[in-house]
Homo-oligomer: A and B are copies of this chain.
């Protein structure tokens, strides 16, 4: 898995406006992080990402009997993107750069 995770991480790290990326296992273990340094923030992001992921997946299963692939939340300049890969959940945090 780690080759694929590294490739995915570096791909996203090149996106415009990315502030940080977390790769989280479905059990909530942080596999990799990019540009998010302190432990507390990492664990905090991981915990709440999984909480939301669980809820959103339930709802999409309920709504459409399908799998949730991507969840995006916009709040002011920030955007939080959760993408659901087979073995892990990826959280990317973006800051709007266009003026």
A residues whose Cβ falls under 8 Å from a Cβ of B:
45, 48, 51-52, 55-56, 59-60, 62-64, 66-76, 78, 80
Contacts and interface: CB of A to CB of B under 8 A. Distances in A.
Contacts of A56: 52, 55-56, 73
| Copy total for this chain | 2
Contacts of A76: 64, 66-67, 69
B59 A66 contact: no
Interface SS majority for chain A: mixed
Nearest to A74: B70
A68 to B, nearest CB: 5
Given A64-B78, A75-B64, A78-B64, A59 B51 contact: yes
